[in-house]
Amino acid sequence: MKRYCSRHHIVLQKGENARILLTLAWNKVLRLKLRLHKWIRGIHHPVVHCYAICWNEEKMLPFWFDYYERFVDRFTVYDNYSDDHSEEIVKSRKNTSVVKFSMGGKIDDRVYLRIKDNCWKHARGKADYVIVGDIDELFFHQRIQEALAMLKNNEISIVKPFGYNMYSAEYPVHTPGVLITQQVKRGVRTPMFDKCILFDPHAIVEINYEAGAHECHPTGRVKAYRNEEFKLLHYKNIGLQHVVERYRIYASRLSQENIESNLGTEYLKKEQLIVEEFKLNEQQAIEII
């Protein structure tokens, strides 16, 4: 089993040293505020806030909430004006809020990055950790509550999980009380999904994601942790017909900026190639969880 845990060190960004140090100093005050709040309320577990970007995710949202509600205390969903039942589903759940944002009907990764680089800063003074991702991404550990407590006790400020694309020929039927991780267990190791979506908002000053949030360059008090038991499960490739339909819709929504920057252009593949790649990966998938 691979393990990596760096010692706490302050990572500065050229030209912003003073701002980073001042933010860290203020964040210490906000962390004390959080500790006082938890002490008054008798909260003993690490408080987690989750932020996610959403567009027409009515099929996945019930699974996403069922999974994360076990250890996430509050959700903020950034909704790109979904025209299905996504917003209704979010609002029907406890401890949720919806923030609407527009991209002019197109997919523009620059907008996604601005949201993911900044939305979580609202959790300072309110949460020990934040999760910043998409509706089809699940941060996984077999004993997640114990794992979060371990991270906090060791003052880990950011986790780099092992990423997997999960596969299922059919889209699972949502059944309350049955997690999607109990229904779709097979996947393919995909290093590009080793995405750092969980981190401490007080220790990290800026996360500095690259396109797709596949890489990041955090500044602040960085103490990273790497362990095969922490996984990022990407539930994008479930239900072949669903996948084909989503590719077709996303292809029609790509902005010119995305196309010119070669971002999201995988959605422009011909349907036959999409089907062939899906079937091949589904056959090669192994049990991950």
pTM, two decimal places: 0.92
Q: Where are the beta strands (DSSP E) in the chain?
A: 3-5, 9-11, 48-54, 74-79, 96-100, 129-134, 137-140, 158-159, 162-168, 186-189, 198-199, 204-206, 219-222, 224-227, 231-238, 286-287
Distance of alpha carbon 212 from alpha carbon 195, whole angstroms: 9
Give, as one character, the DSSP assignment of residue 7: P
pLDDT in single tens digits along all 289 residues of the chain: 345 566 677 887 767 788 999 999 999 999 999 999 999 999 999 999 999 999 999 999 999 999 999 999 999 999 999 999 999 999 999 999 999 999 887 778 889 999 999 999 999 999 999 999 999 999 999 999 999 999 999 999 999 999 999 999 999 999 998 999 999 999 999 999 999 999 999 999 999 999 999 999 999 999 999 999 999 999 999 999 999 999 888 877 777 777 667 766 687 778 899 999 999 999 999 999 9
CA-CA-CA-CA torsion sign (237, 242, 246, 248): positive
Rounded Cα–Cα distance for residues 251 and 65 (Å): 27
Domain formed by 3-287, architecture? Alpha-Beta Complex (3.90)
Query: So where are the chain's domains?
Result: 3-287
